[in-house]
Amino acid sequence: MVHEALLQRASRKLPPSVRELAVFWTARSIGCSWCVDFGAMLQRLDGLDVDRLTDIDNYATSSKFSDDERAAIAYAEAMTADPHSVTDEQVADLRARFGEAGVIELTYQIGVENMRARMNSALGITEQGFNSGDACRVPWAAPDVPSAESR
């Protein structure tokens, strides 16, 4: 839980939609139904457009996604399928869009989601109905976790 709280606090360079769509793509492509369910809930509670998630398979051509979102999803796709397929040009494009700190944040978020999704899948953890509309926002900012500013 502490790691998740710190991860959320440190993720401030990217626009939320860019970060969340890349993470969602990662979870979905691995097949982690828990992660997809939970991720869709987080996007909904953050006020993001979750209706477009049904068109995520067509992200490269869909008008529902911005160029920045498409670039982040393509990066998540490459990192998740075969990290060696990520090109220098792709990273340079992301750097131009989001800066060095944004690329690091995006890479870390995708990497962590790869770990979470693979662990949950291996353990047989499946969706729990988080996106049903009944769930409340997760309190990431736990009071016992020091902020980055206080260190």
Question: Does residue 148 sit within a domain?
Answer: no
Q: Report pLDDT for 131.
A: 78
pTM for the predicted model, two decimal places: 0.82
Question: Does residue 138 sit within a domain?
Answer: no
Domain containing residue 97: 2-128
Question: Does residue 145 sit within a domain?
Answer: no
The domain that holds 20 is classified in CATH as 1.20.1290.10
User: pLDDT category, 140, cuts 50, 70, 90?
Assistant: very low
Token pair of 26 as six digits: 């990662």
Q: How many CB atoms lie within 10 A of CB 74?
A: 18
4 contacts: CB under 8 Å, gap ≥ 6: 140
DSSP per position, 94-118: HHHHHHHHHHHHHHHHHHHHHHHHH
Q: What is the pLDDT of residues 77-120, one digit of tens each?
A: 999 999 999 999 999 999 999 999 999 999 999 999 999 999 99
Mean pLDDT of 118-143: 72
* 128 pLDDT higher than 60: yes
Q: Report pLDDT for 6.
A: 58
Question: Does residue 147 sit within a domain?
Answer: no
Q: How many CB atoms lie within 10 A of CB 88?
A: 7
Number of domains forming the structure of the chain: 1
Question: Does residue 142 sit within a domain?
Answer: no
Question: Does residue 146 sit within a domain?
Answer: no
Q: What is the pLDDT of residues 3-19, one digit of tens each?
A: 565 566 666 789 999 99
Question: Does residue 91 sit within a domain?
Answer: yes
Residue 99 to residue 61: CA distance in whole angstroms: 24
Question: Does residue 150 sit within a domain?
Answer: no
Token pair of 37 as six digits: 């369910």
